């Protein structure tokens, strides 16, 4: 039993309260009680969901005491709290994670079994909260796990979207989007707090005046007011007592009915008002695309930011503080620019609502915020058309103008006459149609700016924020991303976890960076390697069964599982992978005796609903799969599958089953990547470019344990500057021509040569992401993969060394770095006595 549990709750007093105790008997009774008293159900008529809820509440009850004690600690001690502001939190299912973090998984499994229930089936019953698009939202979730595990007191603030990321179905090879109704069967993890609610103004105009002391004052007369209501989810750390808070805001009408309208008989008009207000938190934007004029999205961002800041201020004042010390007790991290309106909102709250002068407010604001950038893609940088911005946030625009004027004045002093620099640095883009530049706002309003991997952080300084770097280089940091080993190893890969723990103990689970390397000493132990291989085989078998059930595809667990799962985007180059598949197919057709190991190439990932090319690439993958999988000439040698609806839950089964991890983005485009880490931690070897965190992964695991190919970021830049011509690569490579010709001719589309024309043309005439340029070296690297896989002992050793050397990529390490470099916070343990 762990230390935390020995001193846990009622047990300390020698009582096995059925509300909190951990023994099998107690858990059984608690489940039955929850089924009866919370669910109003008896076993005879209970559905799976009824049982799931009963088990979930039983687990939740065991978190409550720790949660309340954590709040106590924050209230009593003077603790600096981290607030992580993020438009997305892609948390994944809570039940199994909480059982693992509490340390009651085994007991619960036994309790369920004694009640005639299969715990795994109950775990599968949970609908995951898909409140994020991909890497950025999932990073926020890993960070929440690490913050709690490190006992850093933190709050995650975001939006309680009624509909999260769409569910993906594949019909006739195409992606079809289905609304995600995650709340349909109830959510046992959240607690509604109707009394924690704030009004948020939108639209309207401002009026200025002077107060009695002659100070300039501005009043915002909004066009509408919506109310944000808090929904709290406890986030428990691994085997500690700290339970942090995920507070998501849901939008409601200020009054349920507009009584005036109601009294005059306009019943429908009154209800309309309610519907419009609720729209704000209705749906997560599934966009990977240009962040252009979407009024509702700006309102959504402002809505959750304003509620969160008002909440923090309320808490700060409640503790007897004054607003000029807000930054001493609060560190707020902006997860990309989506919450960056917070800079202007905090200024507004401090000046308009709390009467601070500009300079004090500015000092408080800039000392509070840190900003993390997650992308260099120009089309993904948020900017809001000025008229739209004014329409939604008239007061904030005034504040931004004032900020800009003061800021540019300083720049002028430093670089007299450099007007170009001024226009580059201005918070307002005036080069054509006018825009508010959100990355500029976040940079000016924060004391720290960071990228998410070493290369990315360097490129941030050299490209999009270069002028800001020149003004204040000390502001810029790198914090390389990480992922939580609790979810991505312990929960997803119990077999591997057990093997590792049997050799080096379990400290690595919370101290990966320090302990996982001890595994290296087993890399020569043949018995160990054999067990390692068996585990991979079992994981592949398990995943193959799921794939079969979801898609009907039969795949051979003895073949090399070559997997690429991530959002569909041209820069991630799923199509480069497809070109390899077709090349391999052609080679096998020509030479049936070709000495290559059997391969199963698996893809998964969602495309933004409006991203035509990404959707066409999904269709292409499925079309190629259709031909390849039905061709008897390559049977048993090559298979292709598209796994639908890639999400956190599915990821649990996918990463542990991979032999080869595809991390093949154009160098300089993938800020970090985090899937790359999840694969490698589960013993997959990586084929990848020198992009994002791949570079650091390769440094850690060793160049000899990584399949490298492709141009470097510098070479990509140089090639593009001198003028890249995809044709020349096409013409000089026969296998590339052959592969493209099959697609063009309609070979994969029943003779329809129109279907993939946009795809073929885009590569032949533009090839924005240098697929053709990297093709030869990718193919050659895949040959190295084949060679290595042919030698199981060598492959397995490489796999062990990958896992052993991935400790750096635990999100615990990332959070420690943020804590030291940016937030200046330290762990504060929670005791239950
Ligand atoms: C991702 N960004 C980066 N954005 O692409 C990836 O390299 C990085 O590892 C990860 O962040 C974490 O740092 C990302 O996922 C989004 O999902 C946007 C959310 C808002 C709408 C547009 C996409």
Return the residue whose CA atom lies nearest to atom 18 of ligand 1: 288
pLDDT band at 290 (very low <50, low <70, confident <90, very high): low
> Distance (Å, rounded) from C-alpha 632 to C-alpha 359?
75
Among residues 486, 572, 573, 797, the one annotated as catalytic is 572
User: What average pLDDT does the segment 537-554 reach?
Assistant: 98
- Mean per-residue pLDDT, 393-413: 98
Are 334 and 372 in contact, with CB atoms under 8 Å apart? yes
Task: Count how many Cα atoms sit within 13 Å of the Cα of residue 525 in the half-sphere of its side chain.
Answer: 11
- Report which protein residue has its CA nearest ligand 1's atom 12: 136
Confidence check: pLDDT of 423 > 60:
yes
Within 13 A of 598's CA, how many CA atoms are on the CB side?
12
- Encode pLDDT of 560-601 as tens digits: 999 999 999 999 999 999 999 999 999 999 999 999 999 999
**Torsion from C-alpha of 386, 387, 391, 394, nearest 10 degrees:** 50
For residue 135, report the distance from its CA to the centre of ligand 1, in Å.
Answer: 5
User: Which of 374, 460, 695 most suits a substitution to test ligand 1, by most atoms within 8 Å of the C-beta?
Assistant: 374
Annotated active-site residue 76? The verdict is: no
Chain centroid, CA 463 distance in Å: 24
Q: How far apart are the CA of 334 and the centre of ligand 1, in A?
A: 13
Task: Extract the tokens encoding 513.
Answer: 């960076």
**What does the alpha-carbon distance between residue 124 and residue 109 come to, in Å, rounded to a whole number?**
14
Q: How confident is the model at residue 266 (pLDDT cuts 50, 70, 90)?
A: confident
pLDDT over threshold 60, residue 11? no
**Eight-state DSSP code of residue 127:** P
Residue 336 Cα to ligand 1 midpoint, Å, equals: 9
In short, whether 672's Cβ falls inside 6 Å of ligand 1 is yes
Distance (Å) from CA 137 to ligand 1 centroid: 7
The answer to whether 310 and 350 have CB atoms below 8 angstroms apart is no
Distance CA 637, CA 601 (A): 11
Q: Evaluate: CB of 675 within 6 angstroms of ligand 1.
A: no
Nearest residue to 720 (alpha-carbon basis) of 672, 777, 773, 760:
773
Q: Which of 615, 675, 681 is nearest to 648 (CA)?
A: 675
Contact yes or no for 595/694 (Cβ under 8 A): no
- Rounded to whole angstroms, the Cα distance separating 277 from 584 reads 54
* 315-342 pLDDT per residue, tens: 999 999 999 999 999 999 999 999 999 9
Per DSSP, the three-state class of 177 is: strand
Residues 6 or more apart whose Cβ sits within 8 Å of residue 182 = 127, 128, 129, 130, 163, 164
Nearest ligand 1 atom to alpha carbon 372: 13
- Helix, strand or coil for residue 65? helix
Q: What confidence score (pLDDT) does residue 262 get? A: 60
Neighbours of 731 (CB within 10 A): 12
How far does residue 733's CA lie from ligand 1's centre (Å)?
Answer: 34
Query: Which DSSP symbol is given to 140?
Result: H
Predicted confidence at residue 3, as pLDDT, reads 39
In order of 83, 217, 300, 777, 833, the CA distances from 827 in angstroms are 15, 41, 33, 47, 18
pLDDT greater than 80 at residue 261: no
Residue 413 DSSP symbol:
H
Residue 525 CA to residue 804 CA, distance in Å, equals 14
pLDDT for 260: 66
Active-site residue 678, yes or no? yes
Residue 418 and residue 327 in contact, taking contact as beta carbons nearer than 8 Å: no
Q: Which residues contact 304 (CB under 8 A, 6 or more apart)?
A: 85, 87, 157, 158, 159, 228, 248, 249, 281, 339
User: What's the gap between Cα 446 and its chain centre?
Assistant: 22
**Which of 88, 131, 134 to probe ligand 1 with, by most ligand atoms within 8 A of CB?**
134
Q: How many helices (H) and strands (E) does the chain have?
A: 36, 22
Q: Rounded distance, CA 50 to CA 53, Å? A: 5
What per-residue confidence (pLDDT) applies to 20?
85
For the residues 138-152, what does the mean pLDDT come to?
Answer: 98
Q: Ligand 1 pocket, 692 CB below 6 A?
A: yes
Token pair recorded at residue 672: 């970090």
Q: Is the CB of 779 under 6 A from ligand 1?
A: no
Q: Which among 223, 221, 227 is positioned nearest to 274, based on CA atoms?
A: 227
For ligand 1, whether the C-beta of 361 sits within 6 Å is no
The pLDDT of residue 293: 55
Angle made by CA atoms 701, 704, 677, in degrees to the nearest 5: 30
Q: Is 237 in the pocket of ligand 1 (CB under 6 A)?
A: no
Q: Which of 257, 294, 263 is nearest to 275 (CA)?
A: 257
Q: Using the 8-state DSSP alphabet, how is residue 705 labeled?
A: G
For residue 507, pLDDT beyond 90: yes
* Nearest Cα residue to atom 22 of ligand 1: 288
Grade residue 1 by pLDDT with cuts at 50, 70 and 90.
very low
Burial of 464 (0-12, 13-18, 19+ CB in 10 A): buried
| List of residues 6+ apart from 498 with CB closer than 8 A | none
311: exposed, middle or buried (C-beta count within 10 Å: 0-12, 13-18, 19+)? buried
135: Cβ below 6 Å to ligand 1? yes
Q: How far apart are CA 563 and CA 601, in angstroms?
A: 6
Active site residue 757: no
Question: Are the C-beta atoms of 675 and 565 separated by less than 8 Å?
Answer: yes
Instruction: Find the helix or strand (DSSP H, E) in which 781 lies.
Output: helix 771-789
pLDDT digit string (tens) for 28-67? 999 999 999 999 999 999 999 999 999 999 999 999 999 9
* Cα distance between residue 237 and residue 254, in whole Å: 36
Cα–Cα distance measured from residue 673 to residue 173, given in angstroms and rounded to the nearest whole number = 27
pLDDT over threshold 70, residue 9: no
The tokens describing 421, both together, are 């620099």
- What are the Cα distances from residue 129, in Å, to 282, 286, 326? 14, 14, 32
Rounded Cα–Cα distance for residues 487 and 490 (Å)? 6
3-class SS at 724? coil
Say what the pLDDT of residue 809 is: 98
Output the pLDDT for position 64: 96
Q: Is 374 in the pocket of ligand 1 (CB under 6 A)?
A: yes
**Residue 672 confidence (pLDDT):** 98
Token duo for residue 791: 């030698």
Q: Which residue has the tokens 């009651």?
A: 104
- Residue 720 annotated among the catalytic residues of the structure: no
| pLDDT of amino acid 18 | 75
For residue 672, report the phi and psi dihedrals to the nearest 5 degrees: -140, -55
The stretch 279-299 carries a mean pLDDT of: 81
Beta carbon of 287 within 6 Å of any ligand 1 atom: yes
Active site residue 619: no
Establish whether residue 605 lines the binding site of ligand 1, counting it when its CB lies within 6 angstroms of any ligand atom.
no
Closest residue by Cα to atom 4, ligand 1, is 136
The pLDDT tens digits for 667-725 are 999 999 999 999 999 999 999 999 999 999 999 999 999 999 999 999 999 999 999 99
pLDDT score recorded for residue 286: 85
pLDDT for 44 equals 97
What is the Å distance from ligand 1's center to 471 Cα? Answer: 27
> CB of 777 within 8 A of CB of 689?
no
572 assigned to active site: yes
The pLDDT tens digits of the residues spanning 747-802 come to 999 999 999 999 999 999 999 999 999 999 999 999 999 999 999 999 999 999 99
Cross-sheet strand order for the sheet of 435-437: 383-385, 435-437, 428-429
Per-residue pLDDT tens for 602-615? 999 999 999 999 99
Say if CB 137 and CB 288 are below 8 A apart.
Answer: no
Rounded Cα gap, residues 377 and 671, in angstroms = 9
pLDDT band at 542 (very low <50, low <70, confident <90, very high): very high
Report the chain's mean pLDDT, rounded to a whole number: 95
Q: Is 376 in the pocket of ligand 1 (CB under 6 A)?
A: no
- Would the CB of 670 count as within 6 Å of ligand 1? yes
């Amino acid at each position: 039993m762990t230390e935390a549990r020995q001193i846990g709750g009622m047990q300390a007093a020698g009582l096995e309260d059925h509300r909190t105790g951990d023994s099998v008997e107690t858990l059984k009774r608690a489940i039955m009680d929850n089924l009866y008293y919370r669910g109003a159900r008896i076993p005879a008529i209970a559905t799976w969901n009824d049982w799931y809820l009963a088990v979930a509440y039983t687990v939740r009850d065991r978190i409550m005491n720790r949660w309340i004690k954590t709040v106590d600690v924050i209230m009593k001690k003077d603790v600096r709290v981290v607030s992580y502001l993020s438009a997305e939190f892609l948390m994944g299912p809570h039940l199994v994670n909480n059982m693992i973090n509490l340390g009651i998984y085994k007991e619960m499994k036994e309790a369920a079994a004694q009640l005639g229930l299969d715990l795994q089936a109950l775990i599968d019953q949970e609908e995951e909260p898909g409140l994020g698009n991909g890497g950025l939202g999932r990073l926020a979730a890993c960070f929440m796990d690490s913050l709690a595990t490190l006992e850093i007191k933190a709050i995650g603030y975001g939006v309680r979207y009624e509909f999260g990321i769409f569910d993906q179905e594949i019909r006739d090879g195409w992606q079809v989007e289905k609304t995600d109704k995650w709340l349909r069967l109830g959510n046992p993890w959240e607690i509604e707090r109707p009394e924690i609610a704030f009004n948020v103004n939108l639209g309207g105009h401002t009026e200025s005046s002077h107060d009695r002391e002659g100070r300039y004052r501005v009043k915002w007369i909004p066009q509408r007011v919506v109310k944000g209501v808090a929904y709290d989810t406890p986030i428990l750390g691994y085997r500690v007592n700290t339970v942090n808070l995920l507070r998501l805001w849901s939008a409601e009408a200020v009054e349920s009915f507009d009584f005036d309208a109601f009294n005059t008989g306009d019943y429908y008009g009154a209800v309309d008002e309610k519907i419009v207000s609720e729209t704000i938190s209705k749906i997560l934007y599934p966009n990977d695309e240009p962040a252009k004029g979407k009024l509702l999205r700006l309102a959504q961002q402002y809505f959750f930011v304003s509620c969160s800041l008002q909440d923090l201020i309320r808490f700060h004042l409640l503790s007897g503080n004054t607003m000029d010390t807000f930054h001493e007790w609060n560190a707020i991290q902006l997860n990309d620019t989506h919450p960056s309106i917070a800079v202007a909102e905090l200024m507004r709250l401090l000046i308009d609502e709390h009467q601070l002068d500009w300079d004090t407010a500015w000092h408080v604001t800039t000392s509070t915020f840190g900003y993390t950038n997650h992308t260099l893609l120009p089309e993904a940088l948020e900017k809001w058309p000025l008229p739209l911005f004014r329409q939604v946030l008239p007061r904030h625009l005034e504040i931004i103008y004032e900020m800009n004027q003061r800021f540019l004045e300083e720049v002028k002093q430093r670089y007299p006459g450099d007007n170009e620099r001024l226009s580059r640095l201005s918070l307002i883009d005036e080069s054509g149609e006018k825009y508010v530049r959100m990355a500029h706002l976040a940079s000016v309003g924060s004391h720290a700016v960071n990228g998410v991997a070493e290369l990315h952080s360097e490129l941030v300084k050299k490209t999009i924020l270069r002028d800001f770097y020149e003004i204040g280089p000390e502001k810029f940091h790198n914090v390389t991303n990480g992922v939580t080993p609790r979810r991505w190893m312990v929960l997803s890969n119990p077999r591997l976890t057990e093997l590792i723990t049997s050799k080096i103990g379990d400290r690595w689970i919370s101290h990966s960076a320090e302990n996982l390397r001890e595994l290296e000493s087993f890399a020569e132990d043949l018995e160990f390697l054999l067990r390692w291989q068996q585990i991979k085989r079992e994981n592949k078998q398990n995943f193959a069964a799921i794939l079969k059930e979801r898609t009907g595809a039969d795949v051979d667990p003895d073949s090399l599982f070559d997997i690429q799962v991530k959002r569909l985007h041209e820069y991630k180059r799923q199509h480069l992978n497809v070109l390899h598949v077709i090349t391999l197919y052609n080679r096998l057709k020509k030479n049936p005796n070709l000495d290559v190991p059997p391969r199963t190439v698996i893809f998964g990932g969602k495309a933004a609903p409006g991203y035509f090319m990404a959707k066409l690439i999904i269709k292409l993958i499925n079309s190629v799969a259709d031909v390849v999988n039905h061709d008897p000439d390559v049977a048993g040698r090559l298979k292709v599958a598209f796994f639908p609806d890639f999400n956190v839950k599915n990821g649990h089964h996918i990463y542990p089953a991979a032999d080869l991890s595809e991390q093949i983005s154009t160098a300089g485009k993938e800020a970090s990547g985090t899937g790359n880490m999840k694969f490698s931690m589960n013993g997959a070897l990586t084929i990848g470019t020198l992009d994002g965190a791949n570079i650091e992964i390769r440094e850690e695991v060793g160049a000899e344990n990584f399949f490298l190919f492709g141009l470097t970021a510098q070479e990509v830049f140089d090639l593009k500057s001198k003028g890249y011509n995809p044709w020349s690569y096409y013409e000089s490579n026969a296998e590339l021509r052959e592969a493209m010709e099959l697609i063009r001719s309609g070979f994969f589309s029943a003779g329809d040569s129109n279907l993939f024309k946009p795809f073929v043309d885009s590569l032949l005439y533009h090839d924005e992401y240098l697929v053709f340029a990297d093709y030869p070296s990718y193919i050659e690297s895949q040959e190295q993969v084949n060679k290595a896989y042919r030698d199981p002992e060598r492959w397995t050793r490489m796999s062990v060394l990958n896992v052993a050397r991935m400790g750096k990529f635990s999100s615990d390490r990332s959070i420690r770095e943020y804590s030291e470099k940016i937030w200046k916070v330290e762990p504060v343990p929670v005791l239950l006595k």
